[in-house]
Structure 1
Amino acid sequence: MDLWNTPERVALREAVTKFTEKEIVPNLAQWEDDGELPRELSLAAAKAGFLGVGFSEEVGGVGGDSIDTAIVTESIIQAGGSSGVIASLFTHGIAVPHIVDAGNPDLIDRFVRPALAGEKIGSLGVTEPGGGSDVANITTRAVRDGDHYVVNGAKTFITSGVRGDFVTTAVRTGDPGFGGISLLVIEKGTPGFEVARPLRKTGWHCSDTAELSFTDVRVPVANLVGEENGGFFLLMNQFVNERLGLALQGYATAQRALDLAVRYAKERETFGKPLASRQVIRHKLVEMHRRTDAARKVTRAALEKSLEKSVTDPEVILDALMAKNTAVEAVEFVVSESMQIHGGMGYMRESEIDRHYRDARIIGIGGGATEVLTDLAAKLLGY
C-alpha cells in the first residue's frame, strides 16, 4: 500500500484541506498585513488535532510520524495557505523536539504539552547577529551561578520570536567549539530578556520574526535541556527533520504555484486564444511539472528513509541535504515561471502567486544555506 495514501492519511489530508479553506485562506491577506498569526489559530489547529501530529500521546501529541506531518504541510499549502503559515503556526516543530528527546518530564509538562495544545508559543534561538550556519561557534554565554544560569548575548531571525512565550536557546556554557553548547528554555517576561525589535522581511509576512537580547538574564538550572554542554548533539539530531521540513515546503509551494499557473493559463485569453494554447506556455508548464515532481519524489524518499534509519546516519543526512537543495531549485524556478505566466496580475499583491514568490526565497537560506549544505554533501561524498 502507498504509505502516503492510506485511508487514515487520505482522511487527514481532507480534514486539513477543509480547515485551511475555512480558517486560513479567508484571513491570510489580513494576517500578512498584521505581520503575525492570531493566537486563536493555534488553539483552533490544536483542537482540530493538527498541532500534535507527529508527537506521541505521552507528551501531549496525537501520534503519527513525519509522513503525517508532511501531509499536514502539503495540505495547508496546496489548499491556499503558505509556507509562512507553516513556519509560524508550527514553530513548535523546531522549538520542542529537543525537549522531547531529552525526556525531562518537568520541561515536557511546562512547555511541550502547552505548545501542542496551542496554549503557548515556542521558538528556537540559535542564529546570532554574528553568524548563522556556524552553530558550533555561537557566542551567547550562560554562566552558572548557584541554581541559575546568567545569560548574556543576542539572537536574530528568530521565527515566532515576537509572539513566543519561550525560546529554546542555544548558549555557550563551556569551552569554544561544539562541545561547549547547551540548550536553555528562556521564558518571556524574565528580567533582562527583551524582544529588541520585530523584523520586516521580503516574505513570510504572516510569520513574526524578531531580534532577541539577553542582559544578565537569570534562567533556572531546571530549564536546562538535557546535559550541560550536550546541546549541540540535541540540535544535530533535528537537522535532518528541519531540512526535510523545508524541502516539503519547497515542493508543496512549487505544486501550488504550478496549479495556479495552469488555471490562469487556461482562463486567460490573449489574441482570442487561451494562454495554454501557446506552445511556449505549455512547455513552461511541463518543465515546472518535471522539477516539482522530481523534488517531491526525492524528498519523500529521503523522508521515508529517515523513518527506517537513524537521523545521524550519514546516508540519511546526505539524502536530506540533496532533498532540500533539489526542492529549493524547483520552487525558485516554478514560482518565477508561474509569476511570469500570470504577467502583470502576478505582480499584484492581491494575487496568490505574489505571496509564494516572496515566501519561496527563504527556503534556500533557512535550515542551512544551499551553499553550506552543498559543501557538507561534498564532504559526505568524499569529494
Structure 2
Amino acid sequence: MSLIIMVRSRLTTGGFAEPVVSDTAKTLSKQGHRVILLAWDRTGKNEMTTATEWGTIWRYQEECPLNNATVFARKLPRFLAWSTWQILAFQKIEKDIILHYHDLDTLLGGVFTSKIGEIPLVYDCHENYPGLVEGAVSSIVAKWLHRLEARLLKHCHGIISAGPANYARISQMLELGTKAPFSSTEEEAFEVMNLSQRDFMNSKLTRVGNVKRLDAYPMRRIESRQKTDTFRLLYIGVLEKHPSRGIIETALTVSKMKGVQFDIGGFGTLVPTLKKLETKIPNMKYIGPIHPDNVPLQTIQCDAVLMALDPTNVNNRLSAPNKLFEAMAAGVPIITCKELLMGQMVEREEIGLTFEWGKWDRLKAVIMKMMFDEALCNGMGKRARRLAEKKHNWDFCEDRIGSLYKFVKKNAAIDA
C-alpha cells in the first residue's frame, strides 16, 4: 500500500491533529496505508515527532498567532518549503507516495510538490477558506483566493470536501473554473444533503465531513449519565474574535441566570478575556484546552451544546461544524442560530432549538425552555443520536475515503 503524507498548517491542543484529520488518518491506516502528518506547530513548544495509533506527526516548530493573517502569510512559505523538502527526501526511499494537503493555505505548496515530484495529490478542503477569512482580509484578497483555488483544483487528482455547501461550491468550481460563484446557495447545499452514498463514490470529488465515530460516544455512557440540578451548557472549540462564535455574548447572557453553568473549552486569543470574565461571572468557567480524546465525555456530560455563529460570515452561515456532530453523537440537544444552514437542519429534524443571531434575550429564552422541559430535551437528544446512527457517522466516510484513494491510484497508474 501507499505512504500517505499529509500536510496541515495547524494542530490542536497538545500538538495533536484535529478530529477530522485524525479520523481520516485512522481510516487510511486501517485500509493498509502508512501515514505521516507534516504539521505546523504554531506554539513551537511540542516535540518534533510523535507516534500515534495511525502513524507519525512531524512538527514544523515556529511560533505564529492563529488570528494574525499578516504574520501567518509571511511565515507560511517557510512551512510549505519545509514540507516539500521532507516529501522529496521521503521520495528517495519510497516509490509509492500520495500527498494529502489540508485546506487552501497549503494547496499551492501541494500542487508545486506534486508537479516536481510527479506524485498524486489529494486536496482535503475543510471549509470555504476565502469565505472564512473574508473580514479578516479585504474582499479583494478573498476573491483572489477564490480564483486561485479554482485554478489549483484542476491539478488535484482527488478532492475531499467537508460540508454540503462546500461540496456544491467545489462542484461548481470544477465545472466553471474562476467563473464559479464565491459560495453556493442554501438550496444547492440541501440538494447535496439529499444525495445517496453512491453519489460520493468512484469519482474525483467526495464528501467527508465532521461526523463522528460513534464508538467514541458509547450508548452505555449516554444512558448512564446523571441528571443534576444545574443546566450545563457547553462550548469546546476555537476561541477567536473573528469570525464570532458568540462566546462572550453567551457568557454575559447566562451571568444573570440561576441554575445555569456555561463551560468553555478550547484555545485562542479570547482566552485572556474569558479568564477575566470568569472572576466576575460565577456560573461561567473556562475549563482550558481539551484534548480531542476527552471531547466525547465532556459532551456526553452536558445538557446542551452551543453552536452560535455569526451568519454574516459566509463560511459560518453555510458550514457544518464539529459542534453539531459532537452533540448528535452524544445524544445532546443543540442550541444554534436560525440563520445558519445547519440551524435549519436542527429545526427540521427537531434535535435542538434556535434563536436569531444578536438577539441574546432569545438565547436566554431558549436556555430556560430547555431547563424547565426535561422531556423536550430528552426527546431532542434521542432524535439527534438516532440521526447520527442512521446518516451522520464516520462509517459512511470510511467507504468514501477508500473509494477516493482507489480512484486516485487507478488514474495515477493510467497517467504513468
Q: Which has the higher helix share?
A: 1
TM-score of the superposition, structure 1-length normalised? 0.31
